[in-house]
Structure 1
Amino acid sequence: MASRLAGSLALFFLLASIAVLIAVAVVQVHKRTYESAGQRFGIVLDAGSSRTTLYLYQWPAEKENNTGVVSQNLSCLVEGPGISSLGQDSIQDQKTWSSLKNCVAKAREAIPPSLHSNTTISLGATAGMRLLRSQNETASDEILQSLENYLKGLPFSFRNASIISGEEEGLYGWITANYLKGNFLERNLWNLWVRPHGGETIGSMDLGGASTQIAFNTPLDEGVGAEGFIRVWLYGYGYNVYTHSFLCYGKNEAHKRVLAALVLAKKSPSKTVENPCFPVGYRTNMSAADIFGSPCTEQRPVYAPHEQFLLVGTGDPAGCRAVVHTIFDLQSCHGLANCSFNGVYQPALSGHFLAYAGFYHTANALKLNRSFTLDLFNSTTFAFCSKNWTTLTANYEIKEKYLMAHCFSANYVYTLLVEGYKFTAETWNNILFEKTVDKSDIAWSLGYMLTLSNMIPAEPKLLRLPMDNSVFAGLLFMFSSLAILSLMFLIISLVRVCY
């Protein structure tokens, strides 16, 4: 009787010990948690043709699908014109440098001091500097060198200060648009394994001061290795992106080209020039240097740089569109199925597009929301261009230098999108005109930061176990010993019962 009782107790303790061992192991292995390795930061200076903006980005030290999850922490506009104007006016240079240092100070305050040395800082110059380099390579090199020297002296990890190509600018803008729209990160785990070729993406269109870019995803087998097509790999998926940048077709440079066309078309020796894109009642003097001083105005008559022209607005919407049309070479695409303008190859448009920067500002000036029909855009443009200067200034709280150019901008956007990129009344409905998404600016700099994060080694999350290793080992030893002893007593009890 005593042997049976001892055997029952031994069996109970054996089973209990085994159960505890299994429970401890399961908790230690499956209930472990990970503590984030913290945040990392990156600074990108977007040195555009008309202004410079500092962006501060941050992302978790651990990465998702080999690309950092980046968000915008800070945006700071540097006062003054773009960096391509440095060296032309010493007083303005001082203001620009002072404002730049203030923006850097704001970013420095937003980053924990312990992470300063690990924070990358880069400067990317776009079309304004590309134009300057074509005119005066020495001047552009000196500007970049002075900025590089300044950035290297900061307590950050300097990465580079360079002029990015138009294709890079277009690609980074495309990456930004799709990242902010959530097209890279799969939110539904059930669909994680069935997204074909990375899923649906959105095309991007950027209108800056000196250039404009278009970029959109194409079939994987289209244009491989050809000019304008770039293969990229993001968040575990590959994309075949078509991108092209048109230098001298940014809003500011295109406006100069229109003004130059009007001056060149003037038949009288008078210095008065009628401008159908300016509203009736608006008059302004412009020097020959203001109009013909850019490499984008190819035909330069013999004028003294300071010679003045009086531009008088006639408020003619049709006339404005006609003169805008003249700066596009559409004949070179005649008979070609896949061509935008100036003889440039472009695949057929597909899907939705995000139009930002100058596209957004133009639509916003016309008081149009993010999505509208082509007919509404045309009728609104016609109504705006037909208003005189007194009516415009009374109804729009916009600075004069912008307000006087919005009729041109609207007609330019129409010509670029419809005549150039070949949007129809139907596909126009696929365009969204936006400035920000989820409080993040739509700019190439975020796409640059996302791409740059691929070159930053992913840091593992810190493992946090539910119990200390010494406690875990002690529990294993104790209950393993108890299990062994229970098994021995059980065997002894069974032997006594049998005999």
Structure 2
Amino acid sequence: MPPPNAAHSWLAGRHFGIVIDAGSSGSRLQIYSWKDPRTITLEKGDPLAYTLPKVEKGTQDEDQWVSKVEPGLSSLADNPESAGAYLRPLLSHARDHIPPSLQKETPLFLLATAGMRLLSPTKQAEILKETCRFLITHSNFKIDGPSAVGPCGSSVRIITGEEEGLFGWIAVNYLMDGFTGSSKERTTYGFLDMGGASTQIAFEPSLAHQGNTKNLIDVRLRLLGGDEIRHKVYVTTWLGYGTNQARERYVGKVVTEFEASRGEENDNDVVPDPCLPRGLELTESPVHASRPASSHLSATHRLRGTGSFEQCVQNASSLLNKNAPCPDSPCLMNGVHVPPIDFSVSHFIGVSEYWYSSEHIFGLGGAYDFVQYERAASKFCSRDWPGILKEHEESRWGPNVELPRLQMQCFKAAWIANVLHEGIGMPRIVDPGGNSTTDADKVVEEAEKKGLGRPRPTFQSLDTVGDIAISWTLGKMVLEASKEVRP
């Protein structure tokens, strides 16, 4: 497909930016675009002056703005010279959709995340060097020259979990109008992200606490009117607190406790697990069993679901490690310092696993209601596995829900609840009627008192805003577009 002609009306005054998100399971190229801020005429008092450049999908055919290859870039650890063949489809896609006359001024970033972070420094350097060489020699896109950061400067590199969280925070606030309006009107959202390996938080502490908080990141963005806005953001990551690694730690814990409690003559290796639906039996190896581990303790065990959401929440709560030493008070989970959060004024958006665990089976994505969430989770966890399996075969939950999601939904739902309430400290709403009854008006009234109700809930899980996916790559592009605004 030939690239669009630069004379096309849609392209008039349009700038582009490309981000390749090199994740652990694949690399996704995303093309963004925005109007050149210098071509936008603003009248005095124009509300546009208090907004950021509008960053949107970079192709008119909305399906073409993204292209993906699998597996992850880190899979080239033993074969870095294959980086060119790996990236060629992505680069061809970008060249096909951005006019040749605009490619020299179009920045291209390849930013690697979790998978590449796990490689040795030598392997990382080899892959990044080959990646840089290929992108420079096979495209005309704007790529940094060599620097202390790497062979392609800041254009090709591995980003930290904190950077990923910061870009996510920018994306959420851009999409939710957290940066719009005059300084007195602006209130930003906090950002929560959870994957398989880690969970992140990014938020702007209150002015009262900013002076006492170390390691705040100074975010500067320029509005279309030329004014610079500044936000001081706190970002931190908990490794091992993503859903998959939390599950591994949980299996180690329950197997250790099971072995410690049974007698020597008891040869029953079936471990009861309230975090699995009733009757589901899985064979798992305790990766994180307590040491010193006996050969029997470290062997494969069968876990059989007993289906109790409440018991699962209770059993998994110790994995938050809330009692760890806290060298820099206050701390949340695992002795990690986090500035105080006032949930009566702070509002958070959760993405990734926060969305999947709420929406894909429970249908409760969006504004979070603890009463509804707990009821849905309790009902699902207590169901018999054969009944769940039958409904899956009948496609009740649609193509987004695969068998591993159904197997782990009870645990993941409990882990999300633990992190939100016990870990981060978000208040619950207590349903006085228990799980079977609720007085809706009183619940909403109580929610609003605690900052959990309408019109702006303390927490909501989201996947998209409008037709734009919430992605850290968008946050990176908002930063780039903002740099083009003249003071």
TM-score, length-scaled by structure 1: 0.71
Tell me whether 1:418 sits opposite 2:411 in the alignment: no
Query: Quick one: which of 457, 467, 482 aligns to 1:439?
Result: 467
Aligned partners of 2:420 and 2:426 also within 8 Å: yes
Once the 2 structures are TM-superposed, how far is the Cα of residue 65 of structure 1 from its aligned partner? 7.9
**Bigger shift: residues 258-267 or 110-119:** 258-267
Aligned length: 403
Amino acid at match of 2:143: F
- The RMSD of aligned alpha carbons is 3.6
User: What is the CA–CA distance in structure 1 between the aligned matches of 2:485 and 2:290, rounded to whole Å?
Assistant: 49
Distance 1:315-1:119 versus aligned 2 partners, 3 A rule: same
1:337-416 correspondence to structure 2 within 5 Å: 338-346=330-338, 347-349=340-342, 350-365=345-360, 366-393=362-389, 394=391, 395-397=396-398, 398-416=401-419
Distance 1:300-1:177 versus aligned 2 partners, 3 A rule: farther
Counterpart for residue 323 of structure 1:
315
More helix by share: 1
Aligned partners of 1:325 and 1:415 also within 8 Å: yes
Task: String of CA shifts for 1:159-204, please: whole Å, max 9, x gaps.
Answer: 4222212221221111100101122233xxxxx4xx33x7111111
For residue 334 of structure 2, give the secondary structure of its aligned residue in structure 1: coil
Aligned partners of 1:173 and 1:444 also within 8 Å: yes
Tell me whether 1:281 sits opposite 2:303 in the alignment: no
Amino acid at match of 1:412: W
User: What is the CA–CA distance in structure 2 between the aligned matches of 1:206 and 1:458, rounded to whole Å?
Assistant: 30
Distance 1:36-1:83 versus aligned 2 partners, 3 A rule: closer
User: What is the CA–CA distance in structure 2 between the aligned matches of 1:145 and 1:299, rounded to whole Å?
Assistant: 40
1:194-209 correspondence to structure 2 within 5 Å: 195-196=183-184, 199-209=186-196
Counterpart for residue 164 of structure 2:
169
Once the 2 structures are TM-superposed, how far is the Cα of residue 223 of structure 1 from its aligned partner? 3.2
1:7-46 correspondence to structure 2 within 5 Å: 38-46=13-21
Query: Quick one: which of 49, 52, 71 aligns to 2:56?
Result: 71
Task: String of CA shifts for 1:450-484, please: whole Å, max 9, x gaps.
Answer: 223455x5589xxxxxxxxxxxxxxxxxxxxxxxx
Aligned partners of 1:276 and 1:313 also within 8 Å: yes
Aligned partners of 1:212 and 1:247 also within 8 Å: yes
Amino acid at match of 1:48: G
User: What is the CA–CA distance in structure 2 between the aligned matches of 1:427 and 1:301, rounded to whole Å?
Assistant: 46
Amino acid at match of 1:276: P
1:120-131 correspondence to structure 2 within 5 Å: 120-130=107-117
* Structure index of larger Rg: 1
Structure ranking higher on relative contact order (CA contacts 8 Å, 6+ apart): 1
Amino acid at match of 1:442: I
User: What is the CA–CA distance in structure 2 between the aligned matches of 1:149 and 1:283, rounded to whole Å?
Assistant: 50
Task: String of CA shifts for 1:295-340, please: whole Å, max 9, x gaps.
Answer: xx89684769x96443433323233223321211111379998432
Tell me whether 1:248 sits opposite 2:240 in the alignment: yes
Tell me whether 1:119 sits opposite 2:106 in the alignment: yes
Aligned partners of 2:327 and 2:335 also within 8 Å: no
For residue 15 of structure 2, give the secondary structure of its aligned residue in structure 1: strand
Aligned partners of 1:78 and 1:99 also within 8 Å: no
Once the 2 structures are TM-superposed, how far is the Cα of residue 116 of structure 1 from its aligned partner? 1.9
Distance 1:357-1:77 versus aligned 2 partners, 3 A rule: farther
Aligned partners of 1:183 and 1:201 also within 8 Å: yes
For residue 143 of structure 2, give the secondary structure of its aligned residue in structure 1: strand
Distance 1:147-1:310 versus aligned 2 partners, 3 A rule: farther
Once the 2 structures are TM-superposed, how far is the Cα of residue 141 of structure 1 from its aligned partner? 3.4
